[in-house]
Amino acid sequence: MKDMSVALKFIPLDHYVLLCIILFSIGVLGVLYRRNTIIIIMCIELMLNSVNLLLTAFSVYHSDPTGQIFVFFIMVVAAAEVAVGLAILVMMKRNIDSVDINLLSRLKW
Amino acid sequence: MVTFSNIVKYAWLVPLLPFAGFLIIIFFSRLLKGKSSGIIASALISLSFLISLLMFFAQSDSAVKSITLNIFSWLDVGALKIPFELLIDPLSLNMMLIVSGVGLLIHVFSIGYMLHDERFNTFFAYMNLFSASMLLLVMGANYLILFMGWEGVGLCSYLLIGFWFKNDLYNLAARKAFVMNRIGDLGFILGIILLFFTFRTLNFSGVFAQLSAFTPNNSTIVIITLLLLVGALGKSAQIPLFTWLPDAMAGPTPVSALIHAATMVTAGIYLIARSSLLFNLAPFTLDIILAIGLITALFAATIGIYQNDIKKVLAYSTVSQLGYMFIALGLGVYSSAIFHLTTHAFFKALLFLGAGSIIHALSGEQDIRKMGGLKKKLPITFLTFLIATLAISGFPPFSGFFSKDEILMAAFARNPLIYVLGLFGALMTCFYMFRLLFLVFYNQFRGTPEQESHIHESPALISVPLIILAILSVVGGFLNFPEIFGGKAAQANFLSVSLTNYASNAGHMAVSTEWILMAVSVLFLLFIVAFAYNRFIKQKMLPAGDEIPLAFIPKLLSNKYYVDELYNWLIVMPYTALSEKVFPKMELNIIDKTVNSFGEYTMWLGEKVRRIQAGNISFYVFAMVTGVIFFIIINLYF
Amino acid sequence: MTFLFYLLAAVAILSALMVVFSRSPINSVIFLIICFLSIAGHYILLNAQFLAVVHIIVYTGAIMVLFLFVIMLLNLNTSNEPHKSQLTRITAVITGGLLLLVLIAATKDAVLIQAKNPADYNIGLVKQIGQTLFKQFLLPFEISSVLFISAMVGAVMLGKKDSKKN
């Protein structure tokens, strides 16, 4: 463990920033690119995780555990969100027999 | 023992209580059955009267005569600092006592008079609001609060004159009163604005403290006073803005009493008296006031001679009496104006309530040609009406004699011609008042037999206020019992804290001159009464019916000099013609088109844009991301 | 050590791309699991042991399994997803790329924070996290349980068969 913890000494913070930006952009791209609702939800998870990673990196850099607590809470919210999102998805499939996001425009009423 | 400074702390209750009454009656209108709303209204205003009375007595024991009560900071915007302050000084106390006292009697009278009206509750709500506005008007410590009450009074007069709004004519009368008042108000507003720009304050004391820096007839002061005068002309129904007051007879009779005696029309007098220091610096304006007062007094008196509606006669007598007050103001003897205002409040309220009692007895008949012989049937009304007539005509020792005499004396000191004209007006007043009295109460009843069988003396609720007012009309003159009779001119001394009479009239006349003038006026009055008696009782002359054509002068007079027609021809008709010309071009082609095209363009745009809000989530996300990118770029590079 | 970081980063990015571009949802889920595992690897590199474990349990163990369940239960694995038009796809790629560029540009000139010296590398341990969580963040922790309850109730309500319809 002692060895591993040295990792930060070799990797500058901006690499983490860059990695997270890339992951986040991929998530955004996925939301824009796909029509399948389930994949869109997965891409949202991806974005959340990129932010989590960044929070952790900063937290370690500052030696402040608060950032990691935030990650913990984001996980809580993400879990809840997925549960509800998937429930909606199931209903959608059941009612209109499709998971196409464009058909969700009917929800506006 | 209540001290003045202690009791003044509760001065805010005086306008607030009637206002609370207004709110209570308006909001619980449905719950209040029978006389209850009238009793509430009367009780609240009597509380106001009691507080005013307590303050009055406390003040007479106190060394401090004038107290400003700061209630809260009202407007505080940059240089504009206007606290909500009430000023309790002799002048405002005097006015408060009149407004709440006479107002109370009118309220009590109305309970009996309006009992069978379906909108009884609304009536009392308006009456209370009216009293509250007027009390606020006289108690305000700066011009803006005064203006607030001023507008409240204007609004209430509109509501009350048009109280029987189902009659179109009454509605028009209410509208006329409102528009006429608005013209005056405009002048008043401009005056207030100019005051503020000149003195940087609107407080009475603040303004007056800075006056020493101005020379007499300084143009700014003259303009300010002229603008204030325009306001006063509108409210106090002077030429050229007097035509609304006779039309205001459309309201129920107690309303006429309230408007004519205690409130509303006195507001203009009060405004000028309150600003006495300001007007003293503008002799030019004082001369204009004098001229307007004189013309109005004569003008209205001549019209009064040929009116056949009992309330119209009284209305023109009010305009005429207000003219006397303006004469007093113009002469710079403000205390005499307030004195006459006080006595006038008593006997004019009495006259109107008496007229109300008569109309009530005759089930709504107002034409004096159809009255007559009521002396036996309405003894209380007759007696009180007689007292009021004697008072307004100026017979000693009734109140009107002293107050009118004071004005005429001051007029004589300035210029005998003014005195002569004033006396002439007073004689005409005497004539038409006695004409009214004789026609209504003497000889035979001229109405239908059915009406005759219904004639009855009014109930106590109506007659008691009459009796109280009659007593006041008799003794009112002793408030300011002149020195020549061994009196102390108590009211003038009392008011001297608030009022500063114009200096140039300080010169005293010889006592003998005063005696002679008084004797002359009384002699003339007796002669006029005899003339009227001869004409209307001995010869039983009756005013001609409407269908008989009149000679030129009577026709001119009974048609009120065609002033209404003149205004109609001069202002209303060109205005209407202009409006009709401009309407299709301006209104339809330019204004309507502009406004409509805005609407059409918006709808067209909405039609186009609504597609992007069709619920397409992908597009929403796309728009959101684009927006985020956009804002980051802006943040980065701009 | 550096090598490990780059390897994990490469795996994460590639698998993330595969999540977006693979045809079948099942594949997407698998790639997302890989991606999450590599992120867990990053956590371990950062010595955030507690997070790493929780991450694997919650995401890989629970959430992704949930995804798989849904896909399989609803039989969504048919790749008959109607594709977006060519135009929207290009727009999506451009927009995503633009966002990437802008974000990089935004962070490029940022002043790098120096790690606290001497750094306390023990903050990611369970003891440390637990103490912070139950001292400083006790109330949010309790409230999050309410959130969970409501999410659970909501999910059950939504997933129930509509009795009126049947």
Quote the pLDDT of residue A4.
Answer: 46
Q: What is the pLDDT of residue B212?
A: 82
Secondary structure (3-state) at B71? strand
Q: How far apart are CA B267 and CA B235, in angstroms?
A: 6
The secondary element (H helix, E strand) that includes residue B523 is helix B511-533
Q: Are C103 and A21 in contact (CB under 8 A)?
A: yes
Cis bond upstream, residue B240 (ω within 30): yes
User: Can you give the length of chain A in residues?
Assistant: 109
Chain A neighbours, 3+ Cβ pairs < 8 A: B, C
| Average pLDDT of chain B to the nearest whole number | 84
> Mutate which of B620, B621, B624, B629 to test chain C, going by most C C-beta atoms within 10 A?
B629
Q: What are phi and psi of B294, to 5 degrees?
A: -65, -50
pLDDT at A102 over 80: no
Closest CA to B509 of B399, B424, B425, B415: B415
Top-tier CATH class for C1-76 = mainly alpha
pLDDT in tens, B62-107: 777 788 888 888 888 877 788 888 888 888 888 888 889 989 999 9
Identify the residue whose tokens are 């007796």.
B526
pLDDT of B374 higher than 70: yes
* Greatest extent of chain C over all pairs of C-alpha atoms, in Å: 66
Mean pLDDT of A80-102: 84
pLDDT tens for B562-615 read 777 788 888 888 888 888 888 888 888 888 889 999 999 999 998 888 877 777
pLDDT value of position C17: 93
| Pairwise CA distance, residues B181 & B169, whole Å | 18
Instruction: Considering only CA atoms, give the Rg of chain A.
Output: 18
Per the DSSP assignment, residues forming a β-bridge with B367 are B309
| Mutation for testing the C interface, residue in A53, A59, A74 having most C CBs under 10 Å | A53
Residues 6 or more apart in contact with residue B424 via CB below 8 angstroms: B298
Q: Are B153 and B95 in contact (CB under 8 A)?
A: no
Say whether residue C81 is in contact with chain A using an 8 A CB cutoff: yes
DSSP B555-569: HHHHTGGGHHHHHII
- Whether the complex's predicted ipTM is more than 0.90 is answered with no
* Cβ-defined contact of B629 to C99 (cutoff 8 Å): yes
Q: Which two tokens stand for residue B342?
A: 């006080």
Give the amino acid at C44. I
In chain C, what is the straight-line distance between the N-terminal and C-terminal CA atoms, in Å?
A: 60
Looking at per-residue pLDDT, the higher value among A55 and B496 belongs to A55
Cβ contact B468:B109 at 8 Å = no
Kindly tell me if the per-residue pLDDT of A1 is higher than 70. Answer: no
Rounded to 5, what percent of chain B is helix, strand, coil? 75, 5, 20
The backbone torsions φ and ψ at residue B397, rounded to the nearest 5 degrees and listed phi first, read: -100, 30
In contact, B316 and B301? CB cutoff 8 Å: yes
Cα B393 to Cα B531: distance, rounded to the nearest angstrom: 14
Confidence at residue B550, expressed as pLDDT on a 0 to 100 scale: 65
Which pLDDT score is estimated for C118?
63
Tokens of B590: 């330019």
Residues of chain C with pLDDT under 50: 166
d(CA B408, CA B400): 12
Pick from B614, B615, B625: CB nearest A32: B625
Paired with B81 in beta bridges are: B76
Percent of residues, chain B, with pLDDT higher than 70: 95
When scoring C3, C31, C47, C83 by the number of chain A Cβ atoms within 10 A, the one with the most, hence best to mutate, is C47
How much is the pLDDT for B544?
63
Considering CB atoms only, which of C32, C74, C140 is closest to A93?
Answer: C74
What value does the mean pLDDT take over residues B488-505? 70
Spatial neighbors of B27 by CB under 8 A, at least 6 apart, are none
In terms of Cβ atoms closer than 10 Å to its own Cβ (0-12, 13-18, 19+), residue C153 is exposed
Mean pLDDT calculated for residue range B386-404:
85
Nearest one of B260, B447, B313, B426 to B372, comparing CA atoms: B447
Task: Choose the CATH number for A2-107 among 3.40.50.720, 3.10.20.30, 1.10.287.3510, 3.20.20.30.
Answer: 1.10.287.3510
* CB pair distance less than 8 Å for C106 and B626: no
Q: Is B253 a residue whose pLDDT tops 50?
A: yes
Which residues in chain C have their CB less than 8 angstroms from residue A51's CB? none
| Model pLDDT, residue C53 | 92
Q: Name the band, by pLDDT with cuts 50, 70 and 90, for residue A27.
A: very high
pLDDT of A55:
93
For residues B134-150, average pLDDT:
90
In 3D space, the residue among B511, A29, B68 whose CA is nearest the CA of residue C17 turns out to be A29
What is this structure's pTM? 0.69
Closest C-alpha to C93, from B260, A28, B166: A28
* C110 interfacial to chain B (CB closer than 8 Å): no
Q: Do C102 and B622 touch (CB under 8 A)?
A: no
Q: Domain coordinates of chain C in residue numbers? A: 1-76, 120-160
Residue A64 confidence class, pLDDT cut points 50, 70, 90: confident
Tracing tokens 């006259």 back to the chain, one arrives at B351
User: Is B632–C102 a contact, with Cβ atoms under 8 angstroms apart?
Assistant: yes
Task: Assess A96–C contact: CB distance below 8 Å, yes or no.
Answer: no
Q: Is the pLDDT of residue B222 over 50?
A: yes
Reported as type and span, the H/E element at residue B283 is: helix B283-305
Give me B404's structure tokens.
């009118």
Q: Is the pLDDT of residue B409 over 70?
A: yes
Is the pLDDT confidence value at B463 over 70? yes
Q: Token pair 């009734």 is at which residue? A: B398
